Amino acid sequence: MTIDLRQFHDGFYEEGFEAVGQMEQALLRLGAGAADPDLINIIFRVAHSIKGGAATFGFGQISSFTHTLETVLDELRGRRMLVTGALSDLLLRSVDLLREMLRAQQGGQPIDAQRVADLQFDLELMVAQRDAAAAAAEPAAVDLTRGTLYQIMFQPLPQLLARGNDPLRMFRELRELGELTVSADVSALPPWEQFDPESCYLSWTLTLRTEASRQAIIEAFDWAQGDCTLELRVLECAPVPDAAAADAPAGDTARASGAAKSGDVASIRVSIEKIDQLMNSVGELVITQSMLGQFGDLLDGAAGERLRGALAQLERDVRALQQSVMRVRMVPISVLFSRFPRMARDLGQRLGKQVEVRMSGGGTELDKTVLEKIGDPLLHLMRNSIDHGIETPHERLAAGKKACGTVHLHACHRGSSVIVEVSDDGGGLKRERILAKARERGLVAADQQLSDAAIDDLIFLAGFSTHEQATDVSGRGVGMDVVKRNIDELGGSIEVRSQAGKESRFIMTLPLTLAIVDGQTVAVGEESYIVPLTAIVESLQLRSAPVNHVVGYGEVLSYHGEYLPVVRLQNLFDSRGQRPREPREPRDGLIVRDGLIMVVEGDGKRVGLYVDELLGQQQVVVKTLESNYGHVAGIAGATILGDGSVALILDVAGLTRAASQPLAA
């Protein structure tokens, strides 16, 4: 029976992109000079895995290119080449090309063969130049008379070559350990017309005299595990420095088999669609449990008590299930942080700056949806820190700083929110220049005085930039306004702190998840609305509190020394039922009304929401409107209440922005 390998393609692509990311991170940590063996092994293992998978699925261009890349890495691993700036750039370009090749193969698009050939030539040239330099040097004699003589029986399985393994590379590694003799057994070669170029028909008997340990010999065949049978015997034992090798009994064998290593499977891959379906099912279960809870409140007697007890247990179980599903959706923010060291390196080189990226709190977890939506804001903040914040090495040295600037990415949990901070040790925000630009563009009156915090917030205005000329990095005034808008849409906030000549810090406060909201249910007319608890500052019973009317802005409430705009939800959403309460007689020039005002905060501003009644707090499952209906200003989504009715979830940030604008004439 023929197996259709296409069913495994998605897994290969997913693992391939993840592996390329690991390779890139390891390459960025390589320092100049002799390569770190651990890092090179990581990079080599990734390249070998991609090569083997590509060969298995018949992706010849990917397999061929990765084989050439593997040759260079093998030279680094054998310490026959040193890490240089040019080599690092070449390897990072290879990573970029590998990623593009995987995307093209996944999308059924043609691969740029010329670009692949050019980069492959550059890699081969690096190795050829190393070989030419090595040929001119006199090899040092090695005394192996005191080494142990091993016999190695190496029997490959037919699929060894198709999996991307190269016996010659293994033999080269063994030759570096000592004096090697190789004898091939060709008895299994088939007739020419039956020959399969991807099958391995040879086996080898090798003798090796070395002072290296048995483990070092076995490691040369690590990549062939599962694709060969390996037997190692000691033919002649002599005193060697390696105690483990000297103590090994003659005739002992080590076999590389395809059996899985002992231990439980640590994780499995599950598509996000399945997790979303599970989350929707749990959401429906929450709604059903709420309905049953309301029904249980209507029953009296012993049966009602038993039912309410069972429903209380059901509520605890449903909440535990809900939290378990939420944990499955959580992803460590290190997945996002890992993208930025490469970007910082490349951008720093273009701008002539030295930049180091530090990361902390990478284990902080947040919902995958939130993680995806903060990618662009973080990218803009990183680019601005490097372009506007970090100075050139000359400027930093003149200011008494290190030539290399630092951008720090930090994340942590704080209550039900996640704090993500981007900071740099650059020159800080130049407030005089920002204010001058704002006045020049008419954004601030010439005689208007602003606090430092208000000046800092000017950078988030659309179209605002302090650059005189636009470049491909910045200067068009597009970016920071996008940052603020995206964070506002998530229900989060951003704060700027800066010290001139020392640092700039951008602190984002984000919700853990967008799927579930702890909210306060309010009644407006015959309708119910959900206000997120994180946005509520205070609720006031207005029996005699003054409400003023400001021409052009509508009603305002005096609240702790400031005036807040008042938003009447019944008028805003044209709710049915109870009409707005009529005002009493004016007193001292003030209009007095009865009712409830809920003070909420969003987008850094506060407003008062005029509502009829507070109904209670509950946890609700958010249903988006955009996918089934469309965007509604002031509404973040909807949910189903325990009685089966639909309640809209308020977008507090959108309401505060709308309330802060003057009324249309």
Residue 171 has pLDDT above 50, yes or no: yes
Amino acid sitting at position 491: G
Grade residue 196 by pLDDT with cuts at 50, 70 and 90.
confident
Residue 468 has pLDDT above 60, yes or no: no
Strand 417-424 to strand 503-511: parallel, antiparallel, or no bridges (unpaired)?
antiparallel
Position 178 scores a pLDDT of 85
Across 318-327, 460-469, 611-620, least confident range: 460-469
276: which residues sit within 8 A by CB, 6+ positions away? none
Rounded Cα distance, 231 and 237, in Å: 17
Three-class SS of 494-534: EEEEEECCCEEEEEEEEECCCCEEEEEEEEECCEEEEEEHH
Question: How much of the chain exceeds pLDDT 90, in percent?
Answer: 5
Decide: 575 and 525 in contact? Cβ < 8 Å: yes
Phi/psi at 120 (nearest 5 deg)? Answer: -65, -40
For the segment 625-635, the average pLDDT, to the nearest whole number, is: 74
Position 8 scores a pLDDT of 75
For the segment 445-453, the average pLDDT, to the nearest whole number, is: 81
Rounded Cα distance, 113 and 61, in Å: 8
Rounded Cα distance, 608 and 593, in Å: 14
Coil, strand or helix: which one is 322?
A: helix
Q: How open is the CA angle 545-548-552, to the nearest 5 degrees? A: 155
Question: Could you tell me the two tokens for 296?
Answer: 């249980």
For the segment 83-88, the average pLDDT, to the nearest whole number, is: 82
Mean pLDDT of the residues in the chain = 78
Coil, strand or helix: which one is 205?
A: strand
Residue 629 has pLDDT above 70, yes or no: yes
For the segment 328-343, the average pLDDT, to the nearest whole number, is: 86
Position 528 scores a pLDDT of 87
Decide: 242 and 213 in contact? Cβ < 8 Å: yes
Decide: 608 and 559 in contact? Cβ < 8 Å: yes
Rounded Cα distance, 74 and 84, in Å: 16
Give bridge partners of residue 523 from the DSSP assignment: 528, 613
Grade residue 253 by pLDDT with cuts at 50, 70 and 90.
very low
Strand 503-511 to strand 493-499: parallel, antiparallel, or no bridges (unpaired)?
antiparallel
Sign of the alpha-carbon dihedral angle for 241, 245, 251, 256: negative
Rounded Cα distance, 644 and 287, in Å: 8
Grade residue 287 by pLDDT with cuts at 50, 70 and 90.
confident
Running DSSP on this structure, what letter comes out for residue 624?
A: -
Decide: 451 and 498 in contact? Cβ < 8 Å: no
Question: Could you tell me the two tokens for 652?
Answer: 């507090």
Position 305 scores a pLDDT of 84
375: which residues sit within 8 A by CB, 6+ positions away? 336, 339
366-417 residue pLDDT tens: 888 888 888 888 988 999 899 888 999 999 999 899 999 999 999 998 766 7
Phi/psi at 635 (nearest 5 deg)? Answer: -120, 130
Position 410 scores a pLDDT of 93
Rounded Cα distance, 206 and 533, in Å: 72
Rounded Cα distance, 10 and 107, in Å: 11
505: which residues sit within 8 A by CB, 6+ positions away? 421, 422, 423, 496, 497, 498
Rounded Cα distance, 342 and 337, in Å: 10
Q: How does 423-455 read in b/e, with b if 16+ C-beta sit within 10 Å?
A: bbbbbbbbbeebbebbeeeeebeeeeebeeeeb
Nearest alpha carbon to residue 498 among 550, 545, 549, 429: 429
221-240 residue pLDDT tens: 877 777 788 888 877 765 54
For the segment 58-72, the average pLDDT, to the nearest whole number, is: 85
Grade residue 141 by pLDDT with cuts at 50, 70 and 90.
very low
Q: How open is the CA angle 169-172-177, to the nearest 5 degrees? A: 135
202-212 residue pLDDT tens: 888 888 888 88
